[in-house]
Structure 1
Amino acid sequence: MAFPGADLLDDVEFAPVTRGQIARGVAAAGIGAGDVLMVHVRLSALGWVVGGIDTVVRALRDAVGAEGTLVAFCGWDDSPYHVAFWPRRWQTAYDELPGFDPAVSSSRRDFGGFPERLRTWPGAIRSPHPEVSFAALGARAGELIADVEDPWGPDGTLGRLTTLGGKVLLLGAPLKTLTLCHHAEAIAAVEGKRYHSYRMPVRTSEGDVWRDYTTLDTFYGALPYDVESAVGNLARQAVAAGAGVQGRVGAAEIWTFDARRAVRAVREWIEERF
Protein backbone atom coordinates (compact mmCIF):
# COMPACT_ATOMS: atom_id res chain seq x y z
CA MET A 1 0.00 0.00 0.00
CA ALA A 2 1.40 3.39 -0.98
CA PHE A 3 1.80 6.00 1.73
CA PRO A 4 -0.08 9.33 1.50
CA GLY A 5 1.55 11.62 -1.02
CA ALA A 6 3.50 8.84 -2.74
CA ASP A 7 2.29 10.08 -6.11
CA LEU A 8 4.11 13.38 -5.42
CA LEU A 9 7.59 11.90 -4.97
CA ASP A 10 8.66 12.98 -8.42
CA ASP A 11 7.69 16.61 -7.75
CA VAL A 12 10.97 18.06 -6.48
CA GLU A 13 9.25 21.29 -5.36
CA PHE A 14 6.55 19.61 -3.28
CA ALA A 15 6.79 19.38 0.52
CA PRO A 16 4.16 17.99 2.91
CA VAL A 17 2.26 20.58 4.95
CA THR A 18 2.80 20.38 8.70
CA ARG A 19 1.10 21.57 11.85
CA GLY A 20 3.76 24.20 12.45
CA GLN A 21 3.57 25.45 8.88
CA ILE A 22 -0.19 25.97 9.13
CA ALA A 23 0.11 27.74 12.50
CA ARG A 24 2.83 30.06 11.19
CA GLY A 25 0.93 30.75 7.97
CA VAL A 26 -2.29 31.80 9.68
CA ALA A 27 -0.33 33.87 12.21
CA ALA A 28 1.28 35.74 9.33
CA ALA A 29 -2.24 36.45 8.01
CA GLY A 30 -3.28 38.10 11.26
CA ILE A 31 -4.43 35.29 13.57
CA GLY A 32 -3.15 35.57 17.13
CA ALA A 33 -3.50 34.40 20.70
CA GLY A 34 -6.96 34.93 22.18
CA ASP A 35 -8.73 35.33 18.84
CA VAL A 36 -12.32 34.23 18.39
CA LEU A 37 -12.00 32.62 14.99
CA MET A 38 -14.58 31.19 12.61
CA VAL A 39 -12.96 28.82 10.14
CA HIS A 40 -13.77 27.45 6.69
CA VAL A 41 -11.35 24.83 5.34
CA ARG A 42 -10.79 23.24 1.96
CA LEU A 43 -8.24 20.61 2.91
CA SER A 44 -7.48 19.56 -0.66
CA ALA A 45 -6.34 23.10 -1.49
CA LEU A 46 -3.50 22.85 1.03
CA GLY A 47 -1.88 19.85 -0.60
CA TRP A 48 -0.94 16.84 1.53
CA VAL A 49 -1.38 17.82 5.19
CA VAL A 50 0.44 15.36 7.43
CA GLY A 51 -2.20 14.19 9.90
CA GLY A 52 -5.11 15.51 7.83
CA ILE A 53 -7.95 17.48 9.38
CA ASP A 54 -6.80 16.64 12.93
CA THR A 55 -3.58 18.50 12.21
CA VAL A 56 -5.56 21.51 10.97
CA VAL A 57 -7.55 21.69 14.21
CA ARG A 58 -4.41 21.37 16.31
CA ALA A 59 -2.56 23.99 14.29
CA LEU A 60 -5.41 26.47 14.60
CA ARG A 61 -5.59 25.87 18.33
CA ASP A 62 -1.85 26.57 18.48
CA ALA A 63 -2.46 29.85 16.66
CA VAL A 64 -5.26 31.13 18.93
CA GLY A 65 -3.83 29.70 22.13
CA ALA A 66 -5.53 28.58 25.32
CA GLU A 67 -7.62 31.76 25.52
CA GLY A 68 -8.75 31.54 21.89
CA THR A 69 -11.87 29.99 20.42
CA LEU A 70 -12.60 28.20 17.14
CA VAL A 71 -16.01 28.23 15.46
CA ALA A 72 -17.45 26.34 12.48
CA PHE A 73 -20.78 26.31 10.66
CA CYS A 74 -22.12 22.76 10.87
CA GLY A 75 -25.67 22.74 9.56
CA TRP A 76 -27.14 19.22 9.50
CA ASP A 77 -26.31 16.59 6.92
CA ASP A 78 -29.84 15.09 6.96
CA SER A 79 -31.69 18.39 7.10
CA PRO A 80 -35.10 18.21 5.36
CA TYR A 81 -34.85 21.90 4.36
CA HIS A 82 -35.77 21.10 0.74
CA VAL A 83 -38.24 18.27 1.31
CA ALA A 84 -41.33 20.33 0.42
CA PHE A 85 -40.02 20.53 -3.16
CA TRP A 86 -39.54 16.76 -3.51
CA PRO A 87 -41.99 14.20 -4.96
CA ARG A 88 -44.44 12.94 -2.36
CA ARG A 89 -43.09 9.39 -2.66
CA TRP A 90 -39.72 10.72 -1.46
CA GLN A 91 -41.18 12.87 1.29
CA THR A 92 -42.73 9.92 3.07
CA ALA A 93 -39.25 8.48 3.75
CA TYR A 94 -38.63 11.46 6.02
CA ASP A 95 -41.50 10.42 8.27
CA GLU A 96 -38.92 8.14 9.93
CA LEU A 97 -36.05 10.64 9.99
CA PRO A 98 -34.36 10.62 13.43
CA GLY A 99 -34.76 13.96 15.17
CA PHE A 100 -31.91 16.46 15.20
CA ASP A 101 -29.66 15.97 18.21
CA PRO A 102 -26.81 18.53 18.58
CA ALA A 103 -24.64 15.93 20.27
CA VAL A 104 -25.09 13.27 17.59
CA SER A 105 -26.38 14.60 14.25
CA SER A 106 -23.56 14.95 11.73
CA SER A 107 -22.51 18.18 10.02
CA ARG A 108 -23.15 18.73 6.33
CA ARG A 109 -20.59 16.87 4.25
CA ASP A 110 -20.46 19.54 1.57
CA PHE A 111 -19.04 21.95 4.17
CA GLY A 112 -15.88 19.83 4.24
CA GLY A 113 -14.37 17.82 7.07
CA PHE A 114 -13.54 20.66 9.45
CA PRO A 115 -17.01 21.35 10.95
CA GLU A 116 -17.59 17.70 11.78
CA ARG A 117 -14.11 17.33 13.26
CA LEU A 118 -14.53 20.43 15.39
CA ARG A 119 -18.03 19.33 16.45
CA THR A 120 -16.69 16.01 17.72
CA TRP A 121 -13.55 17.41 19.36
CA PRO A 122 -13.52 16.92 23.16
CA GLY A 123 -14.99 19.98 24.84
CA ALA A 124 -16.77 21.38 21.78
CA ILE A 125 -20.38 22.58 22.06
CA ARG A 126 -23.00 23.00 19.37
CA SER A 127 -26.05 25.21 18.94
CA PRO A 128 -29.45 23.48 18.86
CA HIS A 129 -30.98 24.92 15.66
CA PRO A 130 -31.43 21.93 13.29
CA GLU A 131 -30.69 23.87 10.09
CA VAL A 132 -28.36 26.68 11.22
CA SER A 133 -26.13 25.07 13.83
CA PHE A 134 -22.60 26.07 14.78
CA ALA A 135 -19.90 24.32 16.81
CA ALA A 136 -17.41 26.14 19.01
CA LEU A 137 -14.35 25.04 20.97
CA GLY A 138 -12.34 27.13 23.39
CA ALA A 139 -12.47 29.78 26.09
CA ARG A 140 -15.45 31.75 24.72
CA ALA A 141 -17.43 28.93 23.17
CA GLY A 142 -20.27 29.37 25.65
CA GLU A 143 -20.66 33.04 24.67
CA LEU A 144 -20.98 32.12 20.99
CA ILE A 145 -23.40 29.23 21.03
CA ALA A 146 -26.96 30.50 21.12
CA ASP A 147 -30.45 28.99 21.16
CA VAL A 148 -32.34 31.76 19.35
CA GLU A 149 -35.25 32.04 16.95
CA ASP A 150 -33.18 33.97 14.39
CA PRO A 151 -29.80 32.18 14.17
CA TRP A 152 -28.54 34.58 11.46
CA GLY A 153 -29.49 37.69 13.43
CA PRO A 154 -27.76 39.88 16.03
CA ASP A 155 -27.98 37.33 18.85
CA GLY A 156 -27.04 34.32 16.75
CA THR A 157 -23.54 32.89 16.68
CA LEU A 158 -22.35 35.17 13.85
CA GLY A 159 -23.81 38.22 15.56
CA ARG A 160 -22.00 37.29 18.75
CA LEU A 161 -18.79 36.59 16.83
CA THR A 162 -18.99 40.11 15.40
CA THR A 163 -19.77 41.71 18.78
CA LEU A 164 -16.77 39.93 20.32
CA GLY A 165 -14.47 41.37 17.65
CA GLY A 166 -13.93 37.98 16.05
CA LYS A 167 -12.30 37.02 12.80
CA VAL A 168 -13.04 34.61 9.95
CA LEU A 169 -10.39 32.46 8.30
CA LEU A 170 -10.78 30.95 4.83
CA LEU A 171 -8.08 28.29 4.89
CA GLY A 172 -7.92 27.25 1.26
CA ALA A 173 -11.68 27.79 1.03
CA PRO A 174 -13.01 30.15 -1.67
CA LEU A 175 -14.61 33.53 -0.99
CA LYS A 176 -18.04 32.05 -1.68
CA THR A 177 -17.81 30.17 1.63
CA LEU A 178 -17.79 33.36 3.74
CA THR A 179 -20.92 32.47 5.74
CA LEU A 180 -20.55 35.70 7.73
CA CYS A 181 -22.22 37.47 4.77
CA HIS A 182 -25.55 35.92 5.78
CA HIS A 183 -25.39 37.79 9.08
CA ALA A 184 -24.90 41.03 7.15
CA GLU A 185 -27.94 40.14 5.04
CA ALA A 186 -29.97 39.47 8.17
CA ILE A 187 -29.26 42.84 9.77
CA ALA A 188 -29.31 44.98 6.59
CA ALA A 189 -32.13 47.55 6.66
CA VAL A 190 -33.78 46.65 3.35
CA GLU A 191 -37.18 45.34 2.34
CA GLY A 192 -37.98 42.35 0.18
CA LYS A 193 -35.76 39.77 1.88
CA ARG A 194 -36.78 36.19 1.18
CA TYR A 195 -37.37 33.69 3.96
CA HIS A 196 -37.88 29.95 3.85
CA SER A 197 -40.33 28.01 6.05
CA TYR A 198 -39.81 24.33 6.77
CA ARG A 199 -40.44 21.59 9.32
CA MET A 200 -37.71 19.73 11.18
CA PRO A 201 -37.74 16.81 13.61
CA VAL A 202 -35.82 17.51 16.82
CA ARG A 203 -34.87 15.17 19.62
CA THR A 204 -36.43 16.01 23.00
CA SER A 205 -36.61 14.27 26.36
CA GLU A 206 -40.08 13.08 25.34
CA GLY A 207 -39.03 11.78 21.93
CA ASP A 208 -38.80 13.28 18.46
CA VAL A 209 -41.00 16.29 17.74
CA TRP A 210 -41.57 18.02 14.38
CA ARG A 211 -41.32 21.80 14.67
CA ASP A 212 -41.87 24.69 12.28
CA TYR A 213 -39.02 27.06 11.42
CA THR A 214 -38.59 30.15 9.28
CA THR A 215 -35.15 31.56 8.52
CA LEU A 216 -33.49 33.83 6.01
CA ASP A 217 -33.34 31.96 2.70
CA THR A 218 -29.60 31.56 2.39
CA PHE A 219 -29.85 28.70 -0.10
CA TYR A 220 -32.16 30.08 -2.78
CA GLY A 221 -31.11 33.69 -2.10
CA ALA A 222 -32.16 36.24 0.48
CA LEU A 223 -32.25 38.99 -2.16
CA PRO A 224 -32.38 39.04 -5.99
CA TYR A 225 -28.64 39.46 -6.56
CA ASP A 226 -28.68 38.09 -10.12
CA VAL A 227 -25.13 36.70 -9.83
CA GLU A 228 -23.80 33.17 -9.92
CA SER A 229 -22.54 33.24 -6.33
CA ALA A 230 -24.27 35.72 -4.05
CA VAL A 231 -21.93 35.07 -1.11
CA GLY A 232 -18.87 35.25 -3.35
CA ASN A 233 -20.03 38.62 -4.63
CA LEU A 234 -20.71 39.89 -1.10
CA ALA A 235 -17.32 38.65 0.10
CA ARG A 236 -15.64 40.62 -2.67
CA GLN A 237 -17.27 43.76 -1.27
CA ALA A 238 -15.59 43.02 2.06
CA VAL A 239 -12.26 42.55 0.28
CA ALA A 240 -12.72 45.83 -1.61
CA ALA A 241 -13.38 47.60 1.70
CA GLY A 242 -10.08 46.34 3.12
CA ALA A 243 -11.67 43.96 5.63
CA GLY A 244 -9.61 40.96 4.45
CA VAL A 245 -5.91 40.05 4.65
CA GLN A 246 -4.55 37.59 2.12
CA GLY A 247 -1.94 34.95 2.87
CA ARG A 248 -0.72 31.53 1.90
CA VAL A 249 -0.30 28.11 3.51
CA GLY A 250 1.20 25.31 1.45
CA ALA A 251 -0.43 25.40 -1.96
CA ALA A 252 -3.47 27.28 -0.66
CA GLU A 253 -4.51 30.90 -0.72
CA ILE A 254 -5.97 31.99 2.61
CA TRP A 255 -7.98 35.01 3.76
CA THR A 256 -8.46 36.47 7.22
CA PHE A 257 -11.43 38.80 7.70
CA ASP A 258 -12.13 41.20 10.53
CA ALA A 259 -15.76 40.30 11.27
CA ARG A 260 -16.93 43.79 12.22
CA ARG A 261 -15.38 45.46 9.17
CA ALA A 262 -16.59 42.74 6.82
CA VAL A 263 -20.17 42.84 8.12
CA ARG A 264 -20.23 46.63 7.92
CA ALA A 265 -18.96 46.63 4.32
CA VAL A 266 -21.40 43.96 3.15
CA ARG A 267 -24.36 45.51 4.96
CA GLU A 268 -23.66 48.94 3.48
CA TRP A 269 -23.32 47.48 -0.01
CA ILE A 270 -26.67 45.70 0.35
CA GLU A 271 -28.39 48.79 1.69
CA GLU A 272 -27.07 50.93 -1.16
CA ARG A 273 -28.41 48.56 -3.79
CA PHE A 274 -31.67 47.28 -2.32
Structure 2
Amino acid sequence: MSTPPTGPLCTRDSIATQLGAAGLRRGDTVLVHSSLSSLGWVCGGAATVVSALLDVLGEAGTLVTPAQSADNSDPASWRNPPVPESWWAEIRASMPPYDPRTTPSTGVGVIPEAVRNRPGAVRSAHPQTSFAAIGARAAEVVAEHALDSQLGERSPLARLAAMDARVLLLGVGFDSCTAFHLAEYRLPAPPEADNSFAITTPRGRSWTTVRDVVLDDGDFAELGAAFAVARPVELGRVGGAVTRLFSLADAVAFAEVWLAARRGRNDVDGRVAP
Protein backbone atom coordinates (compact mmCIF):
# COMPACT_ATOMS: atom_id res chain seq x y z
CA MET A 1 0.00 0.00 0.00
CA SER A 2 1.49 3.34 -1.04
CA THR A 3 1.90 6.21 1.39
CA PRO A 4 -0.63 9.02 0.91
CA PRO A 5 0.90 12.34 -0.16
CA THR A 6 1.62 14.90 2.49
CA GLY A 7 0.60 18.51 2.20
CA PRO A 8 0.08 21.24 2.04
CA LEU A 9 -1.70 21.13 -1.31
CA CYS A 10 -0.30 23.80 -3.65
CA THR A 11 -1.91 25.02 -6.87
CA ARG A 12 -0.85 27.59 -9.42
CA ASP A 13 -3.20 30.16 -7.89
CA SER A 14 -2.19 29.47 -4.29
CA ILE A 15 1.53 29.61 -5.12
CA ALA A 16 1.12 32.89 -7.03
CA THR A 17 -0.89 34.44 -4.20
CA GLN A 18 1.67 33.42 -1.59
CA LEU A 19 4.61 34.57 -3.73
CA GLY A 20 3.00 37.99 -3.92
CA ALA A 21 2.46 38.02 -0.18
CA ALA A 22 6.14 37.06 0.26
CA GLY A 23 7.18 40.23 -1.57
CA LEU A 24 7.65 39.22 -5.21
CA ARG A 25 6.45 42.02 -7.48
CA ARG A 26 5.24 42.48 -11.03
CA GLY A 27 8.16 43.59 -13.20
CA ASP A 28 10.86 42.12 -10.94
CA THR A 29 13.96 40.48 -12.36
CA VAL A 30 14.52 37.61 -9.95
CA LEU A 31 17.07 34.81 -9.60
CA VAL A 32 15.29 31.84 -8.05
CA HIS A 33 16.89 28.96 -6.14
CA SER A 34 14.30 26.36 -5.27
CA SER A 35 13.24 23.00 -3.88
CA LEU A 36 10.01 21.57 -5.28
CA SER A 37 9.65 19.03 -2.47
CA SER A 38 9.77 21.77 0.18
CA LEU A 39 6.48 23.22 -1.06
CA GLY A 40 4.32 20.20 -0.30
CA TRP A 41 2.12 18.48 -2.90
CA VAL A 42 2.14 20.65 -6.01
CA CYS A 43 -0.66 20.05 -8.47
CA GLY A 44 1.18 19.91 -11.80
CA GLY A 45 4.69 19.74 -10.36
CA ALA A 46 7.57 21.98 -11.37
CA ALA A 47 5.77 23.41 -14.40
CA THR A 48 3.07 24.77 -12.09
CA VAL A 49 5.66 26.59 -9.97
CA VAL A 50 7.18 28.18 -13.07
CA SER A 51 3.74 29.28 -14.27
CA ALA A 52 2.96 30.80 -10.89
CA LEU A 53 6.26 32.70 -10.83
CA LEU A 54 5.58 34.09 -14.29
CA ASP A 55 2.02 35.00 -13.29
CA VAL A 56 3.38 37.19 -10.50
CA LEU A 57 6.23 38.72 -12.53
CA GLY A 58 4.01 39.59 -15.48
CA GLU A 59 5.14 40.51 -19.00
CA ALA A 60 7.63 43.10 -17.73
CA GLY A 61 9.32 40.70 -15.31
CA THR A 62 12.15 38.22 -15.84
CA LEU A 63 12.61 34.81 -14.22
CA VAL A 64 16.18 33.48 -13.97
CA THR A 65 17.36 30.14 -12.58
CA PRO A 66 20.72 28.38 -12.42
CA ALA A 67 20.98 25.69 -15.11
CA GLN A 68 24.29 24.18 -14.12
CA SER A 69 25.86 21.10 -15.70
CA ALA A 70 28.81 20.35 -13.44
CA ASP A 71 29.35 16.84 -14.83
CA ASN A 72 31.04 18.45 -17.84
CA SER A 73 34.34 18.71 -16.01
CA ASP A 74 37.71 17.06 -15.56
CA PRO A 75 37.22 13.57 -14.08
CA ALA A 76 40.43 14.02 -12.09
CA SER A 77 38.44 16.33 -9.77
CA TRP A 78 35.41 14.05 -9.30
CA ARG A 79 34.84 12.98 -5.71
CA ASN A 80 31.17 11.95 -5.42
CA PRO A 81 31.98 9.37 -6.63
CA PRO A 82 35.51 9.34 -8.05
CA VAL A 83 36.26 7.29 -11.15
CA PRO A 84 39.39 5.21 -11.85
CA GLU A 85 42.35 7.18 -13.15
CA SER A 86 42.61 4.73 -16.05
CA TRP A 87 39.28 6.13 -17.33
CA TRP A 88 40.22 9.80 -17.28
CA ALA A 89 41.70 10.12 -20.76
CA GLU A 90 38.76 8.39 -22.41
CA ILE A 91 36.24 10.50 -20.48
CA ARG A 92 38.03 13.69 -21.57
CA ALA A 93 37.98 12.46 -25.17
CA SER A 94 34.31 11.48 -25.22
CA MET A 95 32.49 13.87 -22.84
CA PRO A 96 29.50 15.29 -24.81
CA PRO A 97 30.07 18.98 -25.53
CA TYR A 98 27.84 21.56 -23.92
CA ASP A 99 24.76 22.45 -25.95
CA PRO A 100 22.55 25.16 -24.41
CA ARG A 101 19.52 23.66 -26.15
CA THR A 102 19.85 20.07 -24.96
CA THR A 103 22.36 19.69 -22.12
CA PRO A 104 20.31 18.96 -18.98
CA SER A 105 20.87 20.92 -15.79
CA THR A 106 22.02 18.90 -12.79
CA GLY A 107 22.23 19.48 -9.05
CA VAL A 108 19.87 22.47 -8.99
CA GLY A 109 16.48 20.76 -8.73
CA VAL A 110 13.63 20.17 -11.15
CA ILE A 111 12.24 23.71 -11.28
CA PRO A 112 15.27 25.04 -13.24
CA GLU A 113 14.82 22.16 -15.71
CA ALA A 114 11.21 23.24 -16.18
CA VAL A 115 12.42 26.80 -16.85
CA ARG A 116 15.12 25.60 -19.27
CA ASN A 117 12.59 23.60 -21.29
CA ARG A 118 9.91 26.28 -21.28
CA PRO A 119 9.07 27.73 -24.72
CA GLY A 120 10.82 31.07 -25.09
CA ALA A 121 13.52 30.32 -22.51
CA VAL A 122 17.12 31.29 -23.29
CA ARG A 123 20.31 30.00 -21.71
CA SER A 124 23.82 31.33 -21.21
CA ALA A 125 26.92 29.86 -22.82
CA HIS A 126 29.03 28.50 -19.96
CA PRO A 127 29.30 24.69 -20.12
CA GLN A 128 29.21 24.27 -16.32
CA THR A 129 27.47 27.25 -14.70
CA SER A 130 24.85 28.44 -17.17
CA PHE A 131 21.66 30.31 -16.31
CA ALA A 132 18.24 29.95 -17.93
CA ALA A 133 15.89 32.92 -18.23
CA ILE A 134 12.37 33.78 -19.40
CA GLY A 135 10.86 37.23 -19.71
CA ALA A 136 11.40 40.80 -20.77
CA ARG A 137 15.14 40.99 -20.01
CA ALA A 138 16.02 37.32 -20.49
CA ALA A 139 18.20 37.80 -23.57
CA GLU A 140 20.06 40.63 -21.85
CA VAL A 141 20.72 38.47 -18.78
CA VAL A 142 22.30 35.58 -20.70
CA ALA A 143 23.98 37.58 -23.49
CA GLU A 144 27.56 37.11 -22.30
CA HIS A 145 29.01 34.26 -20.28
CA ALA A 146 32.74 33.90 -20.76
CA LEU A 147 34.38 30.48 -20.47
CA ASP A 148 36.86 31.81 -17.87
CA SER A 149 34.18 33.53 -15.76
CA GLN A 150 31.95 30.85 -14.29
CA LEU A 151 30.18 33.21 -11.89
CA GLY A 152 32.21 36.39 -12.24
CA GLU A 153 32.22 39.75 -13.97
CA ARG A 154 31.50 38.33 -17.43
CA SER A 155 28.64 36.14 -16.31
CA PRO A 156 24.89 36.66 -15.89
CA LEU A 157 25.45 37.17 -12.16
CA ALA A 158 27.27 40.46 -12.70
CA ARG A 159 24.59 41.53 -15.15
CA LEU A 160 21.85 40.70 -12.64
CA ALA A 161 23.63 42.75 -9.98
CA ALA A 162 23.76 45.72 -12.36
CA MET A 163 20.05 45.28 -13.14
CA ASP A 164 19.07 45.57 -9.48
CA ALA A 165 17.73 42.03 -9.58
CA ARG A 166 16.55 40.22 -6.49
CA VAL A 167 17.18 36.70 -5.21
CA LEU A 168 14.36 34.41 -4.12
CA LEU A 169 15.32 31.40 -2.00
CA LEU A 170 12.25 29.17 -2.31
CA GLY A 171 12.53 26.40 0.25
CA VAL A 172 16.35 26.38 0.24
CA GLY A 173 18.98 27.99 2.45
CA PHE A 174 21.73 30.51 1.89
CA ASP A 175 24.12 27.67 1.10
CA SER A 176 22.36 27.63 -2.30
CA CYS A 177 22.85 31.37 -2.90
CA THR A 178 24.90 31.50 -6.10
CA ALA A 179 25.12 35.30 -5.90
CA PHE A 180 27.72 35.04 -3.13
CA HIS A 181 30.16 33.56 -5.66
CA LEU A 182 30.33 36.89 -7.50
CA ALA A 183 31.85 38.34 -4.32
CA GLU A 184 34.62 35.74 -4.52
CA TYR A 185 35.68 37.21 -7.86
CA ARG A 186 35.78 40.67 -6.30
CA LEU A 187 38.16 39.72 -3.50
CA PRO A 188 41.78 40.85 -3.81
CA ALA A 189 43.79 38.21 -5.72
CA PRO A 190 41.30 35.32 -5.42
CA PRO A 191 42.84 31.85 -5.84
CA GLU A 192 42.67 30.42 -9.36
CA ALA A 193 42.94 26.96 -10.90
CA ASP A 194 42.60 25.24 -14.26
CA ASN A 195 39.02 24.40 -15.27
CA SER A 196 38.30 21.96 -18.11
CA PHE A 197 35.20 21.01 -20.09
CA ALA A 198 33.92 19.93 -23.50
CA ILE A 199 32.58 22.60 -25.84
CA THR A 200 31.62 22.97 -29.48
CA THR A 201 33.76 25.29 -31.58
CA PRO A 202 33.47 26.23 -35.28
CA ARG A 203 35.90 23.36 -35.92
CA GLY A 204 33.91 20.84 -33.88
CA ARG A 205 34.10 19.37 -30.39
CA SER A 206 36.99 20.52 -28.20
CA TRP A 207 38.22 19.59 -24.72
CA THR A 208 39.18 23.03 -23.40
CA THR A 209 41.06 24.25 -20.32
CA VAL A 210 40.89 27.81 -18.96
CA ARG A 211 42.10 29.56 -15.83
CA ASP A 212 39.34 30.66 -13.46
CA VAL A 213 38.63 31.60 -9.85
CA VAL A 214 38.27 28.70 -7.43
CA LEU A 215 34.68 28.59 -6.14
CA ASP A 216 34.04 27.67 -2.50
CA ASP A 217 30.55 27.64 -0.97
CA GLY A 218 31.59 25.90 2.23
CA ASP A 219 30.88 28.93 4.42
CA PHE A 220 27.84 30.30 2.56
CA ALA A 221 25.33 29.14 5.18
CA GLU A 222 27.21 31.09 7.86
CA LEU A 223 27.64 34.05 5.51
CA GLY A 224 23.91 34.04 4.78
CA ALA A 225 22.99 33.95 8.45
CA ALA A 226 25.14 37.03 9.05
CA PHE A 227 23.67 38.76 6.00
CA ALA A 228 20.10 38.12 7.18
CA VAL A 229 20.86 39.77 10.52
CA ALA A 230 22.57 42.80 9.04
CA ARG A 231 20.62 43.52 5.86
CA PRO A 232 16.97 43.51 4.70
CA VAL A 233 15.67 40.02 3.91
CA GLU A 234 11.93 39.53 3.41
CA LEU A 235 10.67 36.28 4.93
CA GLY A 236 7.55 34.54 3.66
CA ARG A 237 5.99 31.17 3.11
CA VAL A 238 4.78 29.37 -0.02
CA GLY A 239 3.07 26.11 0.79
CA GLY A 240 5.39 24.39 3.24
CA ALA A 241 8.46 26.31 2.07
CA VAL A 242 10.08 29.27 3.79
CA THR A 243 11.02 32.03 1.33
CA ARG A 244 13.77 34.62 1.56
CA LEU A 245 13.77 37.58 -0.84
CA PHE A 246 16.56 40.16 -1.03
CA SER A 247 18.65 42.39 -3.29
CA LEU A 248 21.30 40.49 -5.25
CA ALA A 249 23.66 43.47 -5.34
CA ASP A 250 23.25 43.98 -1.60
CA ALA A 251 24.10 40.32 -0.96
CA VAL A 252 27.23 40.56 -3.11
CA ALA A 253 28.42 43.76 -1.44
CA PHE A 254 27.93 42.29 2.03
CA ALA A 255 29.67 39.05 1.01
CA GLU A 256 32.71 40.93 -0.31
CA VAL A 257 33.37 42.42 3.12
CA TRP A 258 32.46 39.29 5.08
CA LEU A 259 34.54 36.92 2.94
CA ALA A 260 37.55 39.23 2.94
CA ALA A 261 37.50 39.34 6.73
CA ARG A 262 36.68 35.68 7.24
CA ARG A 263 38.90 33.93 4.72
CA GLY A 264 41.88 36.21 5.08
CA ARG A 265 44.88 35.92 2.82
CA ASN A 266 46.24 32.82 1.11
CA ASP A 267 49.52 31.61 2.55
CA VAL A 268 52.18 30.45 0.13
CA ASP A 269 51.53 26.80 1.01
CA GLY A 270 47.83 27.13 0.15
CA ARG A 271 46.44 27.40 3.65
CA VAL A 272 44.07 30.19 4.51
CA ALA A 273 45.38 32.44 7.24
CA PRO A 274 42.99 33.40 10.07
TM-score (norm 1): 0.86
% same residue: 34
Q: Which amino acid is the alignment partner of residue 51 of structure 1?
A: G
The answer on whether the counterparts of 1:81 and 1:131 sit within 8 Å (CA) in structure 2 is: no
* Cα pair distance change 1:47/1:91, threshold 3 Å: same
Name the structure 2 match of 1:159.
158
Name the structure 2 match of 1:103.
101
Residue 252 (str. 1) matches residue 241 (str. 2): yes
Cα distance, 1:258 vs. partner?
1.1
Structure 1 residue runs without a partner (length 5+): 223-228
**Secondary structure at the counterpart of residue 106 of structure 1:** coil
Name the structure 2 match of 1:172.
171
Q: Which amino acid is the alignment partner of residue 24 of structure 1?
A: T
The CA distance in 1 between the partners of 2:74 and 2:236, in whole Å, is: 35
Matches within 5 A, 1:198-213: 198-213=195-210
**Secondary structure at the counterpart of residue 9 of structure 2:** coil
The answer on whether the counterparts of 2:131 and 2:156 sit within 8 Å (CA) in structure 1 is: yes
The answer on whether the counterparts of 2:59 and 2:135 sit within 8 Å (CA) in structure 1 is: yes
**Secondary structure at the counterpart of residue 115 of structure 2:** helix
**Secondary structure at the counterpart of residue 7 of structure 1:** coil
Cα distance, 1:250 vs. partner?
1.0
The CA distance in 2 between the partners of 1:77 and 1:131, in whole Å, is: 5
Cα distance, 1:71 vs. partner?
0.8
Point out the more displaced range, 143-152 or 76-85: 76-85
The CA distance in 1 between the partners of 2:95 and 2:75, in whole Å, is: 14
Q: Which amino acid is the alignment partner of residue 105 of structure 1?
A: T
The CA distance in 2 between the partners of 1:172 and 1:44, in whole Å, is: 8
Q: Which amino acid is the alignment partner of residue 179 of structure 2?
A: L
Name the structure 1 match of 2:113.
116
Residue by residue over 1:186-240, the C-alpha shift from the partner in whole angstroms, topping out at 9 and shown as x without a partner, is 113x34x33231221112343211111222222xx27xxxxxx412122223212
Cα distance, 1:82 vs. partner?
4.5
Q: Size of the alignment, in residue pairs? A: 256
Name the structure 1 match of 2:89.
92
The CA distance in 1 between the partners of 2:159 and 2:51, in whole Å, is: 24
* Cα pair distance change 1:81/1:29, threshold 3 Å: farther
The CA distance in 2 between the partners of 1:50 and 1:84, in whole Å, is: 39
**Secondary structure at the counterpart of residue 63 of structure 1:** helix
Name the structure 2 match of 1:43.
36
Point out the more displaced range, 203-212 or 169-178: 203-212
The answer on whether the counterparts of 1:151 and 1:157 sit within 8 Å (CA) in structure 2 is: no
Name the structure 2 match of 1:215.
212
Residue by residue over 1:139-167, the C-alpha shift from the partner in whole angstroms, topping out at 9 and shown as x without a partner, is 10111112323232233211111110101
Name the structure 1 match of 2:185.
186
TM-score (norm 2): 0.86
Structure 2 residue runs without a partner (length 5+): 265-274
Residue by residue over 1:5-36, the C-alpha shift from the partner in whole angstroms, topping out at 9 and shown as x without a partner, is x714xx7xx44111112112221222111111
Given candidates 18, 25, 29, the residue that maps to 1:25 is 18
Cα distance, 1:67 vs. partner?
0.8
RMSD between superposed Cα atoms in Å? 2.0
